[in-house]
Amino acid sequence: MIAPRFWTRRNPTFAARALAPLGALYGMTTARRMARPGTRVEAPVICVGNYVVGGAGKTPTAIAVARLLQHAGERVAFLSRGYGGQRRAAPTRVDPMLHGALAVGDEPLLLARVAPCWIGPDRVAAARQAIEDGASVLVLDDGLQNPALVKDYALAVIDGEFGFGNGLCFPAGPLRAPPELQAPCVSAEVTVGDPAEGVVWAAAVGAPRFRARLEPDAIVAAELIGRPVLAFAGIARPEKFFATLQAIGAIVAGRRSFPDHHLYDEREIAELAAAAQRRGLALVTTEKDYVRLAVHQRAGVRPLPVTLIFETPDEVAAGLAAALARRRLSARSEP
């Protein structure tokens, strides 16, 4: 889905107010689900989630966290639900050489480039399979609201520009549950980008708050400086991608927005390619959209990869190390 515009309005619109009772019910249901006890598996679980529906930068953050853990000598495995892929009964290890987005979803394909990634509807079964495969620590991409696994450290990622939107729960707003009811499940918060004026972007009182930014690939960015482009994106907030292109100096002469996790058909790609050729534009998309394209659809399409950079990576690494140490010390003291 594409986030409704009224989600961004600081003063709730008529539509938001009309949907607010349903949103309150949804939020309380989610909060009660988050409070359920989970299963503790044999390896520490690091969760990277967010307070709202849609994108806040979870997957780039999960990748950045995994790299910090790998640098510390950990054998990392990702766990993902594989949103947008085919539903599977058993845990599956993602193989980018064999699987496409239609089979496993887009995010697992990006994660599997960095470390083994397991998907499946049963998070506990997927976690145990990853541990059996040799993982010493698990990074859960999304899943803050899923109580299946006990989390040893949970990072809530917040889009600094968007924050909590209009402050209401889905479908009246973007929140999955009231922030104050989600905050007890959060160990630390990561704000991506500079917070916009008037945006509420923190909830976990007393929790560490880290800052981060999304940095476009320097080589691709250099090639796009001053170049007219036709940009398309099927992510939660396509306007963020268009703004990134403008920020690196590309001339966004055309733009097309699609729903998050959109699977492109032949007609859509043919129309985009024809429009770009007719106007002499470079066809550019996000890396997440690019992996959703079939191989033959990728001809002439340039992805713009981004990397999440922590402002204080040593502090993030220290928080992760402390969580792992606590978990392992606790495991040794158990009978």
What is the percent of the chain with per-residue pLDDT over 70, rounded to a whole number? 96
Tell me the mean pLDDT in the region 86-90.
Answer: 73
Q: Are 232 and 285 in contact (CB under 8 A)?
A: yes
Residue 198, pLDDT score: 63
Q: Is the pLDDT of residue 225 over 80?
A: yes
Residue 251: pLDDT above 70?
Answer: yes
Among residues 132, 146, 32, the alpha carbon closest in space to that of 80 is found at 146
Per the structure block, which two tokens stand in for 100? 């496409």
The crossing angle, in degrees rounded to 10, of helices 58-71 and 313-333 is: 70
Q: What is the pLDDT of residues 22-81, one digit of tens each?
A: 999 999 999 999 999 999 999 999 999 999 998 789 999 999 999 999 999 999 999 998
Res 196 pLDDT > 80: no
Angstrom distance (rounded) from CA 56 to CA 62: 12
pLDDT higher than 70, residue 96:
yes
What percentage of the chain exceeds 90 in pLDDT?
84
Coil, strand or helix at 300 = coil
Average the pLDDT over 169-195 and give the result. 94
Cα end-to-end distance, the chain, whole Å: 48
Does residue 108 surpass a pLDDT of 70? yes
Structure-model confidence comparison of residues 135 and 161, the more confident one: 135
Q: Which residues pair with 48 in a beta bridge?
A: 141, 155
What mean pLDDT value characterizes the chain?
93
How deeply is 97 buried, as exposed, middle or buried, from its count of CB atoms within 10 A (0-12, 13-18, 19+)? exposed
What does each C-alpha distance from 12 to 144, 188, 201, 203 come to in angstroms? 26, 28, 17, 20
Which pLDDT band holds residue 12 (cuts at 50, 70, 90)? confident
Name the band, by pLDDT with cuts 50, 70 and 90, for residue 200. low
Over range 223-247, report the average pLDDT. 96
The number of helices, as runs of H, and strands, as runs of E, in the chain is: 11, 13
For residue 226, the SS3 value is coil
Average pLDDT over residues 120-128: 95
Closest CA to 26 of 186, 165, 168: 168
pLDDT at 9: 82
Cα–Cα distance for residue pair 17/14, rounded to 1 Å:
5
Judged against a pLDDT cut of 90, whether residue 89 lies above it is answered with no
Q: Is 34 left (phi over 0), alpha (psi -120 to 50) or beta?
A: alpha
What's the pLDDT at 10?
78
Minimal CA–CA distance to 189: which of 208, 174, 170? 208
Regarding predicted confidence, which is higher, 73 or 203?
73
Q: What is the mean pLDDT of residues 121-145?
A: 96
